[in-house]
Amino acid sequence: EPEVTQTPSHQVTQMGQEVILRCVPISNHLYFYWYRQILGQKVEFLVSFYNNEISEKSEIFDDQFSVERPDGSNFTLKIRSTKLEDSAMYFCASSPDRPNSPLHFGNGTRLTVT
């Protein structure tokens, strides 16, 4: 069964550094998402992406965050200047269409900001 793949599985970075989290969604999917889960807390929506543009974003997704689909297969989340509070598990998800399609999640990237 096709999977959403995320790399790396674990990223450690210093505060103030830029990080790029990478995702390869399922190939025929059209909608892409990033969620995050701070340790011990609930899974939070960050952003949804369709047709090469952001369709919705949460208040968490401020100017420090950006998303890109650079080559038709990868879907990236960039954090420009990481903060300690950005430490979390970041999940990429994709879905084929709406309205009846659940999200397919990757295994996540654990980001640790020191």
Residues near another protein, by CB under 8 A: 4, 6, 31, 33, 35, 41-45, 48, 55-56, 58, 91, 93, 95, 98-108
Q: Find out whether 77 and 11 touch, Cβ atoms under 8 Å.
A: no
Q: Pick the closer one to another protein by CB: 48 or 82.
A: 48
Q: Pick the closer one to another protein by CB: 72 or 99.
A: 99
**Least distance in angstroms from the C-beta of 2 to another protein:** 13
Q: Pick the closer one to another protein by CB: 10 or 80.
A: 10
DSSP 32-95: EEEEEE-TTS-EEEEEEEETTEEEEE-TT--TTEEEE--SSS-EEEEESS--GGG-EEEEEEEE
**Least distance in angstroms from the C-beta of 106 to another protein:** 5
